[in-house]
């Protein structure tokens, strides 16, 4: 081969796809979602056939938003995240997952929004991810666009989990996918509030269950 000859395509170094880079960024981002569950969420969002945005309730520092953003990049969708960024009950002082470094000294409260913004910015998906900073039940009455995918991963108390279910599940388009995180049928493995949401939705008769991964449950709205 002469110097003028082009390098055969098979000898060129592989160029990682944007989705590959985003999935790697999601895996490395701070948060509580195992990578196998995150990738299952990505695949579910990528496979949804109906139009509409992807919306997650509960964002923490943006880990799951990157899994959704990877799917949104491929399918031409937007990701909307809804979180007040003050942390759930378990993140407050005296609780198991409290991190003093996340407290804003000016107001004396948890504030994960700067960390979320950094995660999204460093991954280069600020044009895909739309962050709404409020409680989910505050936004829900203002929301009118049918959702292609709804990911419920907010506070896991019984009251707040029911509130998120009541506020958002009806906004999912027929044919859309409902994803619920931290579903543990065995109380010894985790809290029961997300499992209660999963059971109530399934028992409504409006949803069919899809294959899940770990604590991530997936259901498709049938009617």
Please indicate, yes or no, if residue 8 is contained in any of the structural domains: no
Per-residue pLDDT of 4-50, as tens digits, reads 444 444 443 444 467 899 999 999 999 989 999 999 999 999 999 99
Whole-structure pTM value: 0.88
Q: What is the mean pLDDT of the chain?
A: 90
What burial letters (b/e) apply to 65-75, b meaning 16+ CB within 10 Å?
bbbbbbbbbee
Helix (H), strand (E), coil (C) string for 54-115? EEEECCCCCHHHHHHHHHHHHHCCCEEEECCCCCCHHHCCCCCCCCHHHEECCCCEECCHHH
**pLDDT in the model for residue 95:** 58
Domain-embedded: residue 75 = yes
Residue 1 lies in a domain: no
In a domain, 202, yes or no: yes
149 backbone dihedrals φ, ψ, rounded to 5°: -145, 135
Domain membership flag for residue 198:
yes
What CATH number is attached to the domain comprising 88? 3.40.50.150
Among residues of the chain, what percentage have pLDDT more than 90?
Answer: 77
Number of Cβ within 10 Å of residue 34's Cβ equals 14
pLDDT in tens, 158-186: 999 999 999 999 999 999 999 999 999 99
Range of the domain at 86: 34-221
Tell me the per-residue pLDDT of 105-142, one tens digit each, with 9 for 90 and over: 888 788 999 999 999 999 999 999 999 999 999 999 99
3-class secondary-structure state, position 162: helix
- The set of catalytic residues is 156
pLDDT tens digits, residue range 134-159?
999 999 999 999 999 999 999 888 99
Domains contained in the chain, number: 1
Cβ contact 155:51 at 8 Å: no
For residue 192, give both structure tokens: 């029961």
In angstroms, what is the C-alpha Rg of the chain?
Answer: 19
Length of the chain: 223
Structure-token match 């009617």, residue found: 223
User: What's the pLDDT at 200?
Assistant: 97
């Amino acid at each position: 081969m002469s110097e003028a000859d082009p390098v055969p395509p098979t000898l060129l170094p592989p160029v990682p796809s944007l989705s590959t880079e985003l999935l790697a960024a999601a895996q490395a981002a701070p948060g509580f979602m195992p990578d196998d569950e995150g990738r299952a969420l990505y695949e579910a969002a990528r496979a949804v056939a109906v139009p509409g945005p992807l919306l997650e309730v509960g964002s923490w520092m943006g880990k799951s938003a990157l899994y959704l953003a990877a799917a949104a990049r491929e399918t031409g969708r937007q990701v909307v995240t809804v979180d007040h960024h003050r942390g759930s009950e378990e993140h407050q002082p005296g609780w198991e997952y409290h991190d003093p470094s996340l407290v804003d000294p000016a107001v004396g409260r948890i504030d994960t929004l700067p960390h979320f913004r950094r995660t999204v910015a460093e991954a280069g998906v600020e044009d895909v991810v739309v962050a709404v900073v409020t409680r989910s039940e505050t936004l829900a009455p203002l929301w009118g666009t049918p959702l292609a995918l709804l990911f419920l991963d907010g506070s896991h108390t019984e009251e707040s989990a029911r509130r998120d279910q009541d506020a958002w599940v009806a906004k999912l388009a027929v044919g859309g996918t409902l994803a619920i995180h931290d579903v543990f049928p065995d109380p010894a493995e985790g809290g029961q509030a997300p499992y209660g949401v999963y059971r109530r939705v399934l028992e409504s008769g409006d949803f069919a269950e899809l294959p899940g991964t770990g604590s991530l449950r997936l259901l498709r709205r049938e009617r």
